[in-house]
Structure formats: C-alpha cells, structure tokens
Structure 1
Amino acid sequence: MNFLDDAPKPHFVLVPFMAQGHTIPMIDMAHLLAKHGAIVSFITTPANASRIESTIDRARALNLPIQFVPLKLRCAEVGLPEGCENVDKVLEKEQVKRLTDAYSMLHKPLVSYLRAQSNNTPSCIISDLCQPWTGDVARELGIPRLMFNGFCAFASLCRNIIHHEKVFENVADDNELIVLPGFPHRLEVSKARSPGNFNSPGFEEFSEKILEEERRADGVVTNSFYELEPLYHEEYQKKIGTKVWSLGPMFLCNTDMSAMAARGDRASVDAKHCLQWLDSMKPGSVLYVSFGSMTRTVLSQLEEIALGLEASKMPFLWVIKSDDKPSDIEKLLAEGFEERTRDRGLIIRGWAPQAMILSHPSLGGFMTHCGWNSTIEGISNGVPMITWPHCAEQFLNEKLIVDVLKVGVAVGVQSITARTVEVHEVSVVKRYQIERTVLKLMGEDMDAEERRLRAMELKGKARQAIDGGSSYSNVKHLIEYVLTKKIRPEVQ
C-alpha cells in the first residue's frame, strides 16, 4: 500500500474535534495515511489520549509513523473541571461553548510543538470543521489547511445550501417543510430536523468562524466514497469551489479484530464473549441496536425499545451505554426483560466493538441513530438499517438511507432528541412502531429481500473504493497535492 518508498515523506497534522464520533474517523485517517507512507501527528489532550490508549499501543506495535501528541487543555481557565476534555462529558450548552474556547487556546502550544519538529516539518493540517482556529495555525506556518467534514456529500450539500441560501431565515414554523433550492432533485427539509451548525445563542461568533474557515480551506476531506453518492459529491464540490477528497470508508483500513476492538473507549464487554454469542446465531438473523456515543435515552424510551424488541421475537444485540442513568438500566432489566429474552438476546452495557459486530455473518439488520460513522459502517458491511435519527445531520442521513439508497426503513421519528433535551420534551417512539419496523426490516418478503440485495451491492462498492478504486486514488492524489505545496519562505 505504501507508494512513498522512494519519495519525500509528507507530514500530516490531524486535529479532531474531541468527541468520539469525530475522533474515531480521524484515527482511521491517521492509520490510512501512515500505511501509505506519510508521517502523522495526531493532536489530542491527556484525558482523550487515555481513552484511545489501546489505539496508541497498536500503532506503536505496528511501527506506524503516527505520533499521538497530548497537549494540555486549560480547562480551569474557561471554568471547566480539570479533565473535562471531551464533548461527551458535558450536557449543558454553556459547557460545550467553554470547551470550544479551551480548544482554541491550543493554538500557541500546537505552533510551538510543530516548529520544534525540525526533522519532520509539517506539510499540511487536516482538522475538523469544528476546530476553525486551526486555519490560523496553518496560515502562521504557511501550510495548507484541509477541513475534515464528518458528513457525507448528501448532507454536506444540504448544509451548504441551507446556510448560504438562508433557507430558514423567514420561516416561522420550525417544522414547516421547505423545498431545498438548487438541490439536484426535489428535497424537502425542515429547520427542526436540519443541522444547526452551532446556531444556538452564544455560539454566533464560533459559528461564523466555522463558516469563514470553511470558505478559506484549501480543500475538504470526507469519510465517504464517490461510488456511494456520485451526484452529491460532484454537486458539493461545485458548490464550495474546491477539491473534495473522499477517502472512505476509512475504517476498512483497520479490519482485523484487534483494530476493530481498539476504535473507541475501553471495552465494557469481552469481545470474545460477544463473538461467541454471535457465532451461536443463524446467519442474517440478528438485529443490532445501538445509538452511538453521544445520544441519551430516557427510561420511558428504553422500556418501549425493550418491549418492542421482545414482541418482535427477533434475535437482537442491544447496546445500552454506561452513561445512560444506571438506575434506569437496572430498573428496566430488573423487570424480567433480560431473563425473558435470554435465548435470543444479548445486552451490552457500555461500549461495544461495533465494526466487528456489523461484519459478523449473523447480522441481518442495524437499528441506528444515523450518525455518519455508524451509517457508513452499516453500508460497508452490507447491513440494512432501521433509521432512528436523533439530532445534527442525522435526519438528512435518514433520507439518504431510506429514499436514495433504499437500504433502510424509518421507525418514524419526527422530532430531534438532542442530549441536552429535557425528559418531558422527548417524543417517545412506541413499542408497536418498533415491533412493526423490526419485522419489516428483518422479514422475508420481496421488499426486504431487495433491500438486502442493494445493501450487498453497496458493500461491494465500498470495498472496491478502498482496494484500488476511487478512495485509494484519492489518498494518492491527496499526498501528491501536499508534496507539491511548498512552505512560503516568509513564514519559514
């Protein structure tokens, strides 16, 4: 895979937004670039570094040229407790704002670190769109800054049109459906179910900085692949007027068991036990239920999910996160649900090796929050999906999955369930809706079979993209692009 044996080694500086859903694909990107021969500095903080310790150890064991750089985050100066360094550790919007302020204070330490790398001068910064301060760092060092956009091209194009055309400026009803102007085909969206891009009160300056740096970026990197959404890729690239490098599915560069088990927090369940249970189930029979790292599920919704899964009589593997209220979880399980479904259900409390689970032959469906990492993992493993969007761009991803790719069934969520929403504001999906949707996805009728066939076709396209196809070519072209960019003499 390494095509730089006889060429200069570019040095990529990766700066993720420090939430697991943003960090994981950039870890995969670090491995992808390193396996192609590039040098990588992965910028993190001490608390976040401890959460990816197994990933760091594995990179060292493989002798990959990845340096994980933990820069101290000045939490106390912005009014946060020491060690509060990841977005999933906070619930209040004001705390999120303080975290973004703390991240921007990494500017000087990062510049100092990079200037000290005399033997490995940085060639390029790839940073999350939510780390806009890195644009100033790149200009100070005289190197390109590429923006990592964790959305797919479909959602990115929607988001761009929404913001630049001010689609919702004069719309009073947040639930009113608006036809998106300039989209390649008719698409109706509502303000309530569209990505907000930090448009809450107090985030105005931060939001404007994101949009400004998006305009100034030298290019965009995404964790998608061209063959999945060629129309939207082309239109998005035209819209922003700069190159879009789609490098995904990046997790496919780490497909052995140890890599899959390392792509997140410390496992709360033995991966071998999980595999043994999956091995005992019939091929294509199990529904995997997981809503990602950032969602919060209230007790009333947990109860409805449990009873809907029970009524469906389908085998399931359900991940209930450890940071949902433990008392809620234990109350639910104490009522006999786990015992009644023991012969066909497995409950995982906490983190689970998702990529490993989705690749298992016993998987037949995936109930997902439609976060892009989960979505592309499901697509790349040929697994049809039940869509249960919660927030951000997830309602747009649902449209892609259900209406465009036609590999999913919507459970029927109508309103956002952000992690900051109060319990009384949550619109609970009822057990009968869940049971009905599970049976529809996992059934044997013609519609279900056609979904499975389409899902398997996309799996083949995903693998081809990485194995010599568009994404492989884009990695090569990205490295070649960076190698042609010289540091400006006035800032050396």
Structure 2
Amino acid sequence: MAGIQPEHLNFLLIPFMAPGHVIPMIDMAKVLARHGVNVTIMLTPLNFNRFSSVVNRAAVSGLPIQLLQIRFPSEEAGLPVGCESADTLPSYQLIHNFFVAIKLLLAIVEEKLEEMNPIPSCVICDKHLPWMAEACKKFEIPRVAFDGMSCFTQLVMHNLYVSKIHESVPETVPFVVPGLPDEIEFTKLQLPGLFNPGTSDFFEFREQVRLTESQAYGVVVNSFEELENGYVDEFKKIRGGKVWSIGPLSLSIDDNLDRAERGNQASIDAAQCLKWFDSRRPGSVIYACLGSLARLSAPQFLELALGLEASNHPFILVMNAGSESKEIEKWISEEGFEERTRERCLLIRGWAPQVLILSHPAVGGFLTHCGWNSTLESVCAGLPMVTYPLFGEQFLNEKLVVQVLKIGVGVGARVAIHLGEQEKPEAKVTRDRIQAAVEMVMDQGEEGCERRRMAQELGKMAKRSVKDGGSSCLNIKLLIEDIAKLAKQKKSV
C-alpha cells in the first residue's frame, strides 16, 4: 500500500482555555496546514471569536484549516456566563469552578468526535486536558500531548519527580537538581505546584496530568533544538524518542495584522503603538509585561512602575485588570505617574500586541514573567531579558534564560505565588532591584553588549530552525510522517 499523503491526514487540535495555551496552538495549526495537513481547531465560543479572524485569513490564503466550535459549560460549573478562559475569571477564587467546567467538557468533545467524518488521524491536545486520554482511547485515535513548556523545564520536572530531592530539604534552602547537563539550583518555594502546592488542592489533577502526558504517543514542544541542546536529547531519552520540537511557533506569523491581533483584541491601536516608537532611538526602550494571568497587588505594581521610571529608559508598561486595578488607577492618578512619565512611558491597559512590539527596532529589552511563550518571543526578537518570574514553571524558565543561555538578568524574585493566593511579604520585589536589573540589561558596556550579541545570535538560530532544512521544519515533517505511518497501519488492519 502506498504511503498516506499529508492532504489525507486530519489533525484535531484542542487547546486548554487560557491565552498562553491557545495562542501557540493556533500558530501550530497554521504550521501544520502549510505542510498540507487538514487541521481542525476545537474552540469554545469566546476563543472562537478571539481567533476567527486570524484563522479565516489563513483559510482564505488557501491553507486547509478550520475552526470547530464547542459549548463551554460555564453555568453548570458555577461560573458567570461567558467566562470561558482563565484570563476572564473575575477572581482566581473561581479557579476550582473553572477546572470543574474543564472536566465537564469530556462529554461535549466526545459528542463532536462522534459527528466528525472522517475521524481525526491524530489529536494534539494540551496536556492540561487529561480526560482526552480516555476519549482518544475510546475512538482509537493517536494522542500527542502539547506541552507549552521547554524541554529544559520538562527534564527538570521529571528529575524532581524521580529523585524527590525537594522533599528532603527545608523550603528556603537551595538544592541542585540531579541529572541535568548544567548545575541548576532552586528552593522548594520556587517550584511549580506539583512540587510546591501551597494552599491549593490540585494535587490529584496535577498527578493525572503527569500520568496521562507520560502515556501519550508523543509530545510536541514549542521550542527548537539549538536553543536547548543537551536538554532536548535527554528529554527524548525519557520519551522513547517521540518528542518533536517544532517552534518557535510565533514565527508562523507573517504579517503585521496577525501580529497585532495575536491572542486578543489589542487595547491599543497598532498604528498608535508604532507611532510612539518612531521618535525612539534603536534599542532604547524596555518593554514590561508580566503575562495575561498575572495580577500584581497595588504595592507590587507601584514598585514595578517606580523601578522602571528610576531606570531613566523609555518604557512600555502593560497593566492587566485585576481585583486591585481601581487602587492602582487611583495611585497612578493621585501620584501623577502617567503625567510625570508621559514623555518616555506608554501605559497599555489590557492586551498588548506583544509580538509586534518586540519586533520593533526601538525595543532593547523585555521585562518578562518568563512564561514560555513570552520567553520564546523575546528569543525570536533577539532581545535580552529582565526576568521576573511569578508562578508555574516560570522560575525554571528563568534559570534557562539567565544561567544556561546567559541572555537575562533577574530582579531577584524568590517565591512563587500560585493563582488565587495572597502575595507573601517575602515575595516582594523592590523598585531598587527592578531598576538595577533593567540598567544591567540595557547597559552599553562590555557585559551588556555581550548579552545582546548572544540574544541576537539565538534570534538568528530561531529563524533558521523554522525555514526549509531547519531543525523545527524537519521535526514537523517527521511528526507528519509518523502519524501517516500509524494511519496506514490502521487502514491495513
């Protein structure tokens, strides 16, 4: 029997309902479609509306890509109507209800799978939808897990899970993670929730995620092999070789309109944003954004804003609405912060066109929470980073950026604050530390220039990896070939 061609394969992509998870999967869908695979992305109404224009443009251009809308059971889980994404939760006290709704999606997704003709050749689903293991087994569909993290982070977490070294040391004492290519230290308080649960009781869910991810046929990673060298190889050993690094997925964007609309409707007009840059010297602006889920307390936002102001560099500061946004706005108004800094500060309230901003020549550094999407976007732009991790795997990503890649400077964050938890006094990052880190990253001396040179070289490597003949392009082809072989075997049975 002849091999099955890409155009005869149907990939179904199912993201977790949070911007940092949906965005790279939309990018992945476009990459797969460019290789001839028929791609369907399953989204709930809110995300359907957020991404329909980007996907429709791709479809009109001739790519075999489409959206499939499913209902999100908000009300059954005790959530407000239309609350379908982690960033739309009015309070993180509702995070438990959100995960109840996620679990209820199983029956809804299975109903859609019953209707699909042909049945998908493969399902690529976010690892945080562990019940998809059950659905794929029922419908006999190969399941590939999508991990929004790096191979570095995956290897660190695997070695922690196996060694349990974090369980034998006091929570504030640094320890070295065993079995890594580099000597990497953490304290328990900096680790993700599986190892540092805090006050939440998601242990059972996290264990289920870990188990079902390990049982998946393989793992697709938004990274490129040159970025993480030995870490990719070690992670492949753990996964029996079924690891495909196909990123950076943000490089799938090929026009400014897609850059401006990536993820959500921007809170600032792209033209207005670009106009602000026009009067700035190349490499002079620091862009500060702590991600779509971060909601700083008013005192911590004040430290961030004043640290940026004290650095004397032009800066863009992105504010996310949260429970303390009124208090923050009151401080901005009463202290005259916006008026005082208006000659060199652009304050963006809400969603920012991040990829568009980072690609502008005026930007010289990125103050980031070290979410993996943001980290990769900075790498692609060839920018050094000021690292300000908050929760999840962000402290792990910081180690990769600062210690392994040597393209970042930390603000000295010491403690992870999980979603829904109160900010701890020991987690405070002062304006002085923020100012110092910004000045080091933007420094024009020998150390700063070397950091920039290394960041720019990684940016060039990233772009080469996704071009024809590059490592990520090759991995996409290998993934498609692998699924085609499975489809052929199934057809011949």
The aligned residue for residue 51 of structure 2 is 52
Cα distance in 1 for residues equivalent to 2:152 and 2:350: 31
Cα distance in 1 for residues equivalent to 2:391 and 2:424: 17
The aligned residue for residue 364 of structure 1 is 364
Determine which of 116, 125, 129 is the counterpart of 1:127. 125
User: Within the alignment, does 1:328 sit opposite 2:327 as a pair?
Assistant: yes
User: Within the alignment, does 1:151 sit opposite 2:120 as a pair?
Assistant: no
Shift of 1:425: 4.5
Cα distance in 1 for residues equivalent to 2:91 and 2:227: 36
Stretch of structure 1 that moved more, 306-315 or 107-116: 107-116
Cα distance in 2 for residues equivalent to 1:424 and 1:391: 13
Shift of 1:338: 1.6
Shift of 1:324: 6.0
Whether the aligned pair in 1 keeps the contact of 2:414 and 2:426 (CA below 8 Å) is: no
Cα distance in 2 for residues equivalent to 1:55 and 1:192: 39
The aligned residue for residue 378 of structure 1 is 378
Query: Cα 1:435–1:278, aligned 2, differ >3 Å: closer, same or farther?
Result: same
Whether the aligned pair in 2 keeps the contact of 1:411 and 1:434 (CA below 8 Å) is: yes
The aligned residue for residue 484 of structure 2 is 483
The aligned residue for residue 411 of structure 1 is 411
User: Within the alignment, does 1:265 sit opposite 2:254 as a pair?
Assistant: no
Query: Cα 1:420–1:107, aligned 2, differ >3 Å: closer, same or farther?
Result: closer
User: Within the alignment, does 1:185 sit opposite 2:182 as a pair?
Assistant: yes
The aligned residue for residue 467 of structure 1 is 467
Query: Cα 1:324–1:31, aligned 2, differ >3 Å: closer, same or farther?
Result: farther
Cα distance in 2 for residues equivalent to 1:19 and 1:369: 16
Shift of 1:201: 5.1
Whether the aligned pair in 2 keeps the contact of 1:5 and 1:37 (CA below 8 Å) is: no
Whether the aligned pair in 1 keeps the contact of 2:4 and 2:485 (CA below 8 Å) is: no
Cα distance in 2 for residues equivalent to 1:419 and 1:215: 25
Cα distance in 2 for residues equivalent to 1:458 and 1:216: 33
Cα distance in 2 for residues equivalent to 1:355 and 1:324: 27
Task: Render the CA deviation track for 1:388-444: whole Å, top value 9, x for unaligned.
Answer: 000111111111111111111111111123332324647322222222221111111
SS at match of 1:105: helix
Cα distance in 2 for residues equivalent to 1:159 and 1:188: 13
SS at match of 1:485: helix
Shift of 1:8: 3.8
Task: Render the CA deviation track for 1:158-212: whole Å, top value 9, x for unaligned.
Answer: 01111233232344x2222222122223222222111224956542332222122
Amino acid at match of 1:211: R
Shift of 1:467: 0.8
Cα distance in 2 for residues equivalent to 1:423 and 1:319: 20
Determine which of 141, 160, 163 is the counterpart of 1:162. 160
Query: Cα 1:67–1:276, aligned 2, differ >3 Å: closer, same or farther?
Result: same
Whether the aligned pair in 2 keeps the contact of 1:302 and 1:332 (CA below 8 Å) is: no
Determine which of 157, 171, 176 is the counterpart of 1:174. 171
Determine which of 175, 186, 191 is the counterpart of 1:194. 191
SS at match of 1:168: helix
Cα distance in 2 for residues equivalent to 1:61 and 1:322: 35
Whether the aligned pair in 1 keeps the contact of 2:6 and 2:480 (CA below 8 Å) is: no
Q: What is the TM-score of this pair, normalised by structure 1?
A: 0.93
User: Within the alignment, does 1:305 sit opposite 2:297 as a pair?
Assistant: no
Shift of 1:78: 2.6
Shift of 1:67: 2.1
Shift of 1:465: 0.2
SS at match of 1:347: strand
Amino acid at match of 1:158: V
Stretch of structure 1 that moved more, 205-214 or 261-270: 205-214
Shift of 1:488: 7.9
SS at match of 2:427: coil
Query: Cα 1:426–1:188, aligned 2, differ >3 Å: closer, same or farther?
Result: closer
The aligned residue for residue 250 of structure 1 is 249
Stretch of structure 1 that moved more, 444-453 or 70-79: 70-79
SS at match of 1:245: strand
Stretch of structure 1 that moved more, 98-107 or 135-144: 98-107
Whether the aligned pair in 2 keeps the contact of 1:316 and 1:345 (CA below 8 Å) is: yes
The aligned residue for residue 41 of structure 2 is 42
Whether the aligned pair in 1 keeps the contact of 2:388 and 2:411 (CA below 8 Å) is: yes
Sequence identity, in percent?
Answer: 42
Cα distance in 2 for residues equivalent to 1:65 and 1:245: 22
Stretch of structure 1 that moved more, 196-205 or 216-225: 196-205
The aligned residue for residue 106 of structure 1 is 105
Whether the aligned pair in 1 keeps the contact of 2:409 and 2:437 (CA below 8 Å) is: yes
SS at match of 1:460: helix
Query: Cα 1:127–1:425, aligned 2, differ >3 Å: closer, same or farther?
Result: farther
User: Within the alignment, does 1:391 sit opposite 2:388 as a pair?
Assistant: no
Cα distance in 2 for residues equivalent to 1:489 and 1:404: 43
Task: Render the CA deviation track for 1:35-60: whole Å, top value 9, x for unaligned.
Answer: 21111111111123233343344334
Stretch of structure 1 that moved more, 350-359 or 415-424: 415-424
Q: How many residues align?
A: 486
Shift of 1:72: 1.1
Cα distance in 1 for residues equivalent to 2:278 and 2:60: 29
The 5 Å alignment of 1:211-360 reads 211-323=210-322, 325-334=324-333, 335-360=335-360
The runs of 5 or more residues in structure 2 that have no matched partner are none
Query: Cα 1:390–1:259, aligned 2, differ >3 Å: closer, same or farther?
Result: same
Query: Cα 1:7–1:339, aligned 2, differ >3 Å: closer, same or farther?
Result: closer
Shift of 1:7: 5.0
Task: Render the CA deviation track for 1:43-102: whole Å, top value 9, x for unaligned.
Answer: 111123233343344334334322212211222333323322212233767632332232
Cα distance in 2 for residues equivalent to 1:296 and 1:94: 13
Query: Cα 1:344–1:110, aligned 2, differ >3 Å: closer, same or farther?
Result: same
Query: Cα 1:204–1:441, aligned 2, differ >3 Å: closer, same or farther?
Result: closer
RMSD, matched Cα: 2.2
Cα distance in 2 for residues equivalent to 1:109 and 1:116: 11
The runs of 5 or more residues in structure 1 that have no matched partner are none
Query: Cα 1:155–1:148, aligned 2, differ >3 Å: closer, same or farther?
Result: same
Query: Cα 1:354–1:106, aligned 2, differ >3 Å: closer, same or farther?
Result: same
